[in-house]
Amino acid sequence: MGDRLLPFDDYKLTAQLRTLLIQRWVDLAGVDYTVGNGVVYLRGSLRRRCPIGNGHAKPESMVELAARLESDIRKIVGVRGVVFQLENLVKDDLQWRAR
């Protein structure tokens, strides 16, 4: 079979991606996520589902969240690439910034 991914592999990656997004408190209503041939696509607007922070730690900014998500997604075994098409964030060269 070589390097070709099967549709089931994309299904498993999609499930892992959804779990990661939920763990990071991403509002799934604002972001569309798909996986095709091992490439993760995130579209829409990246937002938090609820405020994070216990009063002792500063909540992550959306820029920090995007950078962390990208890093965590790339660590998932089987992910070949990540494509972000976000309305509220953009990556220029190696830096994330708000639009």
Q: Does residue 1 lie in a domain region?
A: no
Q: Does residue 2 lie in a domain region?
A: no
Q: Does residue 13 lie in a domain region?
A: yes
Q: Does residue 39 lie in a domain region?
A: yes
pLDDT recorded at residue 93: 84
Q: What is the CATH classification number for the domain harbouring 72?
A: 3.30.70
Sheet holding 39-44, edge to edge: 31-36, 39-44, 81-86
Closest CA to 44 of 55, 59, 36, 32: 32
Range of the domain at 80: 7-98
Closest CA to 17 of 1, 7, 28: 28
Looking at the structure of the chain, the number of domains it has is 1
The count of other CB atoms within 10 Å of the CB of residue 14 is 15
Predicted confidence (pLDDT) per residue in 44-95, tens digit: 999 988 755 555 455 678 999 999 999 999 999 999 999 999 999 999 988 9
Average pLDDT for 18-25 = 94
Where helices occur in 1-99 by DSSP H, the ranges are 7-23, 62-74
Confidence class for position 5, pLDDT limits 50, 70, 90: low
